[in-house]
Chain A
């Protein structure tokens, strides 16, 4: 018969290993780069943020990324103000967010490169759109690197561009996301 002490130790270790293994399969990233790019024959406009956040729950292949709209920086500050005030209404809708499930199934413990599709919801300007977003995941030394470029149509998210500035702002904005997620608590 095993002593009570050993039994308790075994149970504790079992529980602990369960806990650590789930933790090891949750990845977080705090400095995700988000770039937006609008291109028309008249003007190219770019803005960038490096404070996007991301969470990946490996077991469920669930990925959530969000960026604070006000953290996107333009070289013209007045343009940035108009972006927040007139287009994104960032006081009302402070974040843009994507949440989805990644396929195919990935072994998150092994190094490798995967072309993936994330199926989920893109929420911009308070409007949710079901999206399949294509991207690339690279796993190296236990860290997960995300890269994705996709288009966001202003009209699909009820972002109205007045005819007066139609020539300067593209109807479809190119969004690039890039960043590294590391295991939680490590």
Chain B
């Protein structure tokens, strides 16, 4: 009898397990099937490929072309500012038109032309590491290489004695992290290689470290800033004309395809090859200026998408 009692007990246990199995909710089963764990990329650390002055870790999406128009006005205050130049708005210290194209989601090539020095620039930007959620890699890493060509006529016969003197090279690994949907921070050490420098005390090759950040105020409006530290690193402090570290702050407004940035910065120039090397204005002496960026994104080769389930049409 003892044994049959044991069997009844065993049967009850089994029955309990079976009932439990059938009572398993659809929810818990769904969680075991959950495919969401596969998608753990952290995207859109920044809205655009640029922050204020500097590049961000973002690259263009595949086959997207970004037309970028940038403008730096004149000094708001100081000798060259005030009401006589309508606080710098009469002056354009630099203008820039550029095109950035996404060869793939991770590789972007860009060309641009600045008013200052008639500088043409060509860059290549490769995303190497994408930040991941949870236990994945905690940061983004993008590598930037940019070459600048000064196209203007020489100011003196001795200038640009060699054609190579017109060329400058920037090498910049960019590291960023999206800390939350609101806050992203970035650091970018860079090395600028020049053949000549305007000041004999200024080394030809400059090492600098940039810092940048974004604070999202709303879904489409962000406060952005970047600062590049050059003085005190590779540059000596006995220059005949003082040079300054560029600092830019701005509001970035995204409207679906367009990005508008309203910026204030002390650098007269737009491209790294110019502003890292030659920022002569300072925030403290009225050398701050207004600037803006208009970015318009075009998706090319849409006709290549033959999938009727994802094909979008603009009428």
Residues of chain A having any CB pair with chain B under 8 Å: 4, 7-8, 11-12, 14-15, 18-19, 22-23, 26, 28, 30, 33, 35, 41-48, 51, 53-57, 59, 62-64, 66, 68, 70-71, 73-79, 81-82, 84-86, 89, 91-92, 94-95, 97, 99, 162, 164-165, 168, 184
Q: Are B18 and A164 in contact (CB under 8 A)?
A: no
Assess whether B30 is in contact with A86, with CB atoms less than 8 Å apart. no
- Selecting from B8-16, B167-175, B243-251, the interface stretch reads B8-16
B18 touches A11 (CB 8 A): no
| Inter-subunit contact B39/A56 (CB<8 Å) | no
Bound complex: CA A158 to CA B60 (Å): 30
- Decide yes or no: A99 and B26 within 8 Å by CB, A46-B309, A68-B39, A78-B257 being known contacts: yes
Docked CA distance A42–B39 (Å): 32
The answer on a CB contact under 8 Å between B26 and A62 is: yes
A64 touches B105 (CB 8 A): no
Cβ of A180 to closest chain B Cβ, rounded Å: 14
Size of B's binding interface in residues, CB under 8 A: 48
Most chain A CB atoms below 10 A, which of B4, B26, B62:
B26
Which residues of A lie under 8 Å from residue B105 when comparing CB positions? 77
Number of A-B contacts (CB under 8 A): 145
Among the listed stretches B151-159, B200-208, B297-305, which one makes contact with chain A, having 4 or more residues with CB under 8 Å of it? B297-305
- Does B310 lie within 8 Å of A99, measured CB to CB? no
Give the CA-CA distance A12 to B33 in the complex, in Å.
29
Across the interface, do B34 and A15 meet the contact criterion of CB distance under 8 Å? no
Task: Look across to chain B and name the residue whose beta carbon is closest to the beta carbon of A169.
Answer: B256
Is B64 an interface residue when CB atoms closer than 8 A count as contact? yes
Q: Pick the residue among A51, A75, A78, A94 that contacts B311 (CB under 8 A).
A: A75
- Taking the nearest CB of chain B, how far is it from the CB of A14, in angstroms? 8
23 pairs of residues in contact across A and B, judged by CB atoms under 8 Å: A4-B3, A4-B4, A22-B21, A26-B29, A47-B309, A47-B310, A56-B26, A57-B24, A57-B26, A59-B22, A75-B311, A76-B61, A77-B64, A78-B61, A78-B64, A78-B257, A78-B297, A82-B256, A84-B43, A85-B43, A86-B256, A94-B36, A97-B30
